[in-house]
Amino acid sequence: MPSPIIQLEGIRRIFPMGDETVEALKGIDLTIHEKEFVAIMGTSGSGKSTLMHIMGLLDSLSEGRYNLDGEDVSAISRDKRAEIRNQKIGFIFQSFNLLSRSSALENVELPMLYRRPAISGRREKALKALEMVGLENRSDHEPRQLSGGQQQRVAIARALVNEPPIILADEPTGNLDSRTGDDILGLLTSLNEQGITIIIVTHDPDIGGKAKRRIVLRDGNIEQDETN
Amino acid sequence: MELYLTAFQQAISALWAYKGRTLLTMLGIVIGIGTIIVMVSIGQGANQAIQDQINKMGTNLLYAISGSSKKGGVRGGHGSQPSLRLKDIDAIRRLCPSIKEISYQINGAVQSVAENKNWGSPLQGSVPAYASITSWTLQEGEFINDRHLKTVANVAVLGSVVAENLFEPGSSVVGRKIRLKNVPFTVIGTLTSKGRTPDGRDADDVVIIPYTTAVRKIMGRALPGMVHFILVSAHSKELVPRAKWEMEIALRQSHRIPENGDDDFIVGTLDEFADAATESTAIMRLLLIAVASISLVVGGIGIMNIMLVTVTERTREIGVRMAIGAREKDILTQFLVESITMSVVGGILGTVIGIATSRVISEIAGWPTIISPESIVIATFFSGLIGIFFGFYPARKASRLDPIDALHHE
Ligand SMILES: Nc1ncnc2c1ncn2[C@@H]1O[C@H](COP(=O)(O)OP(=O)(O)OP(=O)(O)O)[C@@H](O)[C@H]1O
Ligand SMILES: [Mg+2]
């Protein structure tokens, strides 16, 4: 039995909105194990992105406990969170979010620049990551010289390069046509087979169907949690 | 270290992407630093020129004049009572081993009349040592000698300005006759041109005659043995302070001033003139540098403004960097390096333009200018400081952004 890598207990996230508050997450209990492939689904505004931000340590929780890879990260400093993001989590966004003035290779190198302690052989590692996504011959292209699918592959290479145990993807196929989307999904599936835990937020029932586990959110609560 | 290097590379490419904007932003720094470089080079050139002037006046010089040594205040009127006499010269000769040569003089003004021209100028009743102490050479003829002094000869040495105004330019004047106060004199020499004295008078506008002749035939007998100005040279530069001390003692003795009495004379060195002159140029320079500093501050605010714009424009980039693990310090460093790069490049540009400008000023206005390595180092250091100071607020703002807000920025 693989060990749990993400453990959420009674997670609440409350946003102040003027005089009122919005409770985006209303007490989430969730355990995700190593090497799982999880799809998070639900209607718009149900709290999918908020949950993903909390799991990715981009956002802090209002209440509850979060255990990541055996470490309590419920209340840690900004810099500590940056360090954990750098080493344990790869992000993939709907809008790719590559640095527009940097080449594909430089984009992939970026997470290693922020790595402490510093590591050597960054160029080779970046090239290898680009190879894994099939873009080794596009390494000196800037984002605007690449198609949407290629840009998302560069983003995946960037997410991979520090060899994190977890990849979080928020609607990674949202800006792509269905065939390209399938390619990206295939890539993520193969990464999962190599042992990386993948958590993907999606509206697409097809993608949800391909995931081993589906979690459906509704109004900040888990409505359904099923495993194939 | 490597992070700084990458930050620097990124800064260069980010600034290069907006060349025009970057250049305009740097302009304030360029102007400020350029102005400072020019001002300092002119100031240092002027100081050097003053120093050269002083050296031209003769080296290791001291002087004595009548008057109270109490500067300013109640005793101001005392100086009008001339106190120096010929016997003081003997006292200095006897009591001052550090002193090499002594010259003394009586001053007045005189209207010189040549064949058909006349010219008013200062008159100096002087002694032979004057020419060697001031290392003043002759354009033509000879200077006053001891025989002239002894025989109370009616001979005159003319400054170049006087010679030019009394006689046709280019003609020999030695042996020509002039009249001073209706007394006929023979011109025995003309002096080479010396330019201005440190206190701004024209040194060449002078008629020099033997001291004895001046006292007995021109000034009248009302002033027995009176001396207006004593000029001496010390044996070396190091002996100047000692010579000053010896001279004060000799004059106090000669004037029979009691232990606790005030001096009725002033002994000074020519360096003091130089100090005063340097001080006045320093004040001018300070003023101009203050003006240039305002330009630097304005330039710094320009940098701050553009960095705030940059941070806003690149909010999303900042969000991405944070998401993949940039710490606050990393973001802060990145934007600080960018603002420092901008201000230092501006500073270097300003330095280059400043050096070029002061060269041009030297050429056109004929002012001496000196570019010192220190001023270049200080200018560069200072522009870096401006980059840090004015870049800090925008960089800190960037580093404090919330990752999610930054990522969702349009
Ligand atoms: N920073 C915020 N301030 C206030 N309210 C917020 C903030 N972020 C999210 N919310 C609210 O929290 C709720 C959940 O938002 P979230 O972005 O997680 O939804 P989602 O499931 O990702 O929706 P979508 O499918 O449209 O992306 C929404 O009601 C949203 O308005
Ligand atoms: Mg969302």
pLDDT of residue B1: 66
State which amino acid sits at residue A40: I
Q: How far apart are CA B322 and CA B337, in angstroms?
A: 18
Per-chain mean pLDDT for chain B: 87
Would you tell me how many other CB atoms lie within 10 Å of the CB of residue B201?
11
pLDDT in tens, B121-140: 999 999 999 998 888 889 99
With a 6 Å cutoff on the Cβ, whether A17 touches ligand 1 is: yes
For the question of whether the overall pTM of this predicted structure is more than 0.80, the answer is no
Question: Buried b / exposed e across A16-35, counting CB within 10 Å, b at 16+?
Answer: eeeeeeeebbbebebebebb
With a 6 Å cutoff on the Cβ, whether A49 touches ligand 1 is: yes
Domain ranges for chain B, please list them.
2-53+275-407, 84-263
Q: Encoding tokens for residue B38?
A: 């020019």
pLDDT of residue B77: 45
Asked whether the CA dihedral B136, B137, B142, B147 is positive or negative, the reply is positive
- Contact criterion met (CB < 8 Å) for B325 and A91: no
pLDDT of residue B74: 43
Query: What is the pLDDT averaged over residues B241-259?
Result: 91
Closest to A168 in 3D by CA, of A192, A193, A200, A209: A200
Question: Buried b / exposed e across B142-167, counting CB within 10 Å, b at 16+?
Answer: ebbeeebbeeebbbbbbbbbbbbbbb
Q: Is A149 on the interface with B (CB under 8 A)?
A: no
Residue nearest to atom 6 of ligand 1 (CA): A15
- Contact criterion met (CB < 8 Å) for A110 and B403: no
pLDDT of residue B57: 67
Query: What is the pLDDT averaged over residues A171-194?
Result: 94
Chain B residues with a Cβ under 8 Å from any Cβ in chain A: 2-3, 6, 13-14, 17, 316-317, 319-330, 403-404, 407
Contacts of A79 in chain B (CB under 8 A): 327-329
Q: What count of CB pairs under 8 Å joins A to B?
A: 59
Contacts of A113 in chain B (CB under 8 A): 2-3, 6
Closest to A203 in 3D by CA, of A180, A181, A220: A181
Share of chain B above pLDDT 70, in %: 92
pLDDT in tens, A145-179: 999 999 999 999 999 999 999 999 999 999 999 99
Neighbours of ion ligand 2 (CB under 5 A): A 49
Chain A: give the shortest CA distance to residue B290, in Å.
41
Contacts of B400 in chain A (CB under 8 A): none
> For residue A200, what are the contacts with CB-CB under 8 A and spacing of at least 6?
A37, A38, A39, A40, A168, A169, A172, A188, A207, A211
pLDDT-based confidence at B378, cuts 50/70/90?
confident
Q: Identify from B2, B15, B324 which residue to disrupt to test chain A contact, counting A C-beta atoms within 10 A and taking the largest count.
A: B324
Of A82, A99, A101, which has the smallest distance from its Cβ to B322's Cβ?
Answer: A82
pLDDT of residue B68: 62
Per-chain mean pLDDT for chain A: 95
Query: What is the pLDDT averaged over residues A77-92?
Result: 96
pLDDT of residue B247: 93
pLDDT-based confidence at B76, cuts 50/70/90?
very low
pLDDT-based confidence at B372, cuts 50/70/90?
confident
Q: Give the range among A58-62, B39-43, B54-58, B225-229 with minimum mean pLDDT.
A: B54-58
pLDDT of residue B75: 44
Domains of chain A with CATH codes: 34-59+77-227 (3.40.50.300)
Chain A: give the shortest CA distance to residue B304, in Å.
23
Q: Is A48 on the interface with B (CB under 8 A)?
A: no
Q: How far apart are CA B64 and CA B89, in angstroms?
A: 11
pLDDT-based confidence at B146, cuts 50/70/90?
very high
Q: Is B124 left (phi over 0), alpha (psi -120 to 50) or beta?
A: beta
ipTM: 0.96
pLDDT in tens, A36-52: 999 999 999 999 999 99
Query: What is the pLDDT averaged over residues B130-158?
Result: 92
Chain A: give the shortest CA distance to residue B49, in Å.
54
The DSSP code for B221 is T
With a 6 Å cutoff on the Cβ, whether A105 touches ligand 1 is: no
Question: Buried b / exposed e across A100-129, counting CB within 10 Å, b at 16+?
Answer: ebbbbbbbbbbbbbbbeeeeeebeebbbeb
Centre of ligand 1 from the C-alpha of residue A44, in Å: 8
**Contact at 8 Å (CB) between B226 and B85?**
yes
pLDDT of residue A146: 96
Which residue on chain A is closest to B3 by alpha carbon? A113
Contacts of A101 in chain B (CB under 8 A): 13-14, 17
pLDDT of residue B221: 64
Question: Looking at per-residue confidence, does B324 or A228 come out higher?
Answer: B324
Q: Is A94 on the interface with B (CB under 8 A)?
A: no
Concatenating the DSSP letter of every residue in A6-20 gives EEEEEEEEEEEETTE
pLDDT of residue A106: 94
Closest to B288 in 3D by CA, of B228, B354, B335, B342: B354
Chain B: give the shortest CA distance to residue A186, in Å.
23
